[in-house]
Chain A
C-alpha cells in the first residue's frame, strides 16, 4: 500500500532563517505531488504541484520554492522565512492516471517567530 511521509512534524524558526520541508511517497511510481498551506485551521491554498522530476508549477507568487529531485520526493524551501510563512504545510500525492483523489501526508506545523 501507499504511504506518504512528511518531516519534520513541527518546526519553529526565526524570521530570516532558511526552510526545508521534505515529503516522500512510498508504494507508487510517477505520482503527481502537491504542496498546500493551511492557515488558521481552515482553507487550503495550493502552493506548488509537480507532474515529474524537475517539473514544478507554482500557483501563487511567494517567498517559497519547491523541488522534486527524485520521483517520490518533494521538497519545500525558503531562503529567508517571513512571519507570514507560518502555517500548516501539507503534502499530497495522486496517481498520474486513474483515481482522481489526492492523498495527504500528516503535515508540518511551521511557526515563524
Chain B
C-alpha cells in the first residue's frame, strides 16, 4: 500500500540551530515527493519537490530536502531555523496507482515545528 509517514508529531528547535523534519514513504516505482508548509488558518504553501536528478533539492525560504532511495526517506532540512519557521509541515508523495490526469497526492499526518527564541 502507498503511504507517507511523518514519525514526529512535533519538533522543537532553538533559533539558529539546524532543523530536520522527517518523512518516509512507501510507493511503487520512482517516487515524486513534495513538502508543504501551513501557517495557522492558512492554506498549504508548496516548498519543494523531488522528481528526478540531484538527491538534494533546494526550495523556498532556505529549506532543502534530501532524497534517500535506499532508506525511502525525504527529510526536510534547514541549516539555521528562524522563529518564523514555526508552522505545520506536510510531506506528500504522488499516488502512482493511476496515470493520466488524476495525479492525487498522498499526504503525511503533518509535523508541527516549533522554533524557540
Interface residues of A (CB under 8 A from B): 6, 32, 34, 41-44, 46, 49, 51, 57, 88, 90, 92, 94, 96, 100-107, 109
Contacts and interface: CB of A to CB of B under 8 A. Distances in A.
17 contacts: A41-B88, A42-B109, A43-B107, A44-B90, A46-B104, A51-B102, A90-B43, A100-B32, A100-B34, A100-B49, A101-B34, A102-B46, A102-B105, A104-B44, A105-B43, A106-B43, A107-B43
Contacts of A105: 43
Contacts of B107: 43-44
A94 B42 contact: no
A106 B109 contact: no
A71 to B, nearest CB: 13
Nearest to A103: B46
B83 interface: no
Given A32-B103, A43-B110, A96-B101, A101 B49 contact: yes
Interface residues of B, number: 25
B101 to A, nearest CB: 4
B101 A32 contact: yes
B45 interface: yes
Interface string B64-108: 000000000000000000000000101000100000111111011
B56 interface: no
B28 interface: no
B46 A101 contact: yes
B46 A109 contact: no
Nearest to A57: B102
Nearest to A42: B110
Contacts of B49: 100-101
A6 B44 CA distance: 13
Residue of B32, B40, B100, B102 ringed by the most chain A CB atoms within 10 A: B102
B11 interface: no
A16 B59 CA distance: 44
Contacts of B43: 6, 90, 104-107
